[in-house]
Amino acid sequence: MAKSSTQAVIPERSSSVLRGLRFQHIARRIAAYGALVVLGALFSIPFLWLFSTSLKAPEQLFRLPPEWIPNPVAWGNYPRALTAIPFFLYLQNTLYITFFNVVATLISCSLAAYGFARIEWPGRNALFVVLLGTLMIPYSVIQIPQFLIFRDLGWIGTTNPLTWPAFFGNAFFIFLLRQFYLTIPQELSAAAKIDGASELQIYWRIILPLSRPALAVVALFTFMNNWNDFVGPLIYLGDREQYTLAIGLYGFLSRARTEWGPLMAAAMLMIAPIIVLFFFTQRTFIQGITLTGLKG
């Protein structure tokens, strides 16, 4: 009789333990999602303030306490932003430089990463260490020598310094793609070689299709870096007809001064493509970040 009662108590205790573990798991998930919501709200405050300011009339900008919801809504700030500077010309210049760099970076970095990850050759690891060492060199150290080189080439005042160097690769993106390539089984390359495929065919038909998440990460980072670049165009572009949006916004500020509403509207129009691009590519982007670097 005592034995049967003991056996009845054990399932009750195990079920209570399971309920406790399930409750703890749910509580941890709620706490984690709650923290993410709070952090997301905090990080979105500057963007929301930017959008709110872009819809305010001048008399609403410096009211205390601040007004988050404009009343009335000054929709005229956006047409003013498009006409205060040659917005569409600057947009065309920015798109040209950005997409040129995206294509050139994908070509150069994917090829270099393939050589470091999939082809055996003497000194490969030593040269890769040297490549990683270049990541520790501040841009300010190479800025003047780089300017002198471009000056001797006659590139100052053109978009060449902002575009053609992308064909020489980027150390960080080469590292990122190499780490991704190492996760692809070598058996695929070996089978292709047995069938008579060359290294270039393996790279084009096997490695690149399997590396779309990592390539999407490289493309998105390159797009963002060149879209928001201010220092490069400021140094190398001299003609206003060649200005990008980043330089155009600075010029808008210097002329408009206190017209913060139109300036914020122009800034909203500038960052809108990045938001839209990330919205449509976030799944591939997160997948590429997650899978990269799993193998050393």
- Taking only the tens place, the pLDDT of each residue in 108-165 is 999 999 999 999 999 999 999 999 999 999 988 999 999 999 999 999 999 999 999 9
What's the mean pLDDT when you consider all of the chain?
Answer: 86
Which residues contact residue 268 at a Cβ distance below 8 angstroms, ignoring those fewer than 6 apart? 50, 51, 54
| Segment holding 196, helix H or strand E | none
Tell me what the mean pLDDT of segment 274-278 comes to: 84
104 pLDDT more than 50? yes
Q: How many CA atoms lie within 13 A of 214 on its CB side?
A: 27
Please tell me the predicted confidence (pLDDT) of residue 258: 62
Q: What is the pLDDT of residue 10?
A: 55
Of 4-8, 33-37, 265-269, least confident by mean pLDDT is 4-8
Task: Evaluate if residue 170 carries a pLDDT over 50.
Answer: yes
Whether the CB-CB separation of 118 and 181 falls below 8 Å is answered with yes
User: What mean pLDDT comes out for the span 224-240?
Assistant: 92
The confidence band for 292, taking pLDDT boundaries of 50, 70 and 90, is low
* Average confidence (pLDDT) over 169-197: 92
| Cβ atoms within 10 Å of 286's Cβ, excluding its own | 13
Q: Please report which confidence band the pLDDT of residue 89 belongs to, taking 50, 70 and 90 as the band edges.
A: very high
Residue 77: exposed, middle, or buried by beta-carbon count in 10 A (0-12, 13-18, 19+)? buried
- Are the CB atoms for 265 and 272 separated by under 8 Å? no
d(CA 203, CA 208): 6
Mean pLDDT of 29-43: 91
Confidence category of residue 296, pLDDT binned at 50, 70, 90: very low
Residue 170 main-chain phi, psi, to 5 deg: -135, 125
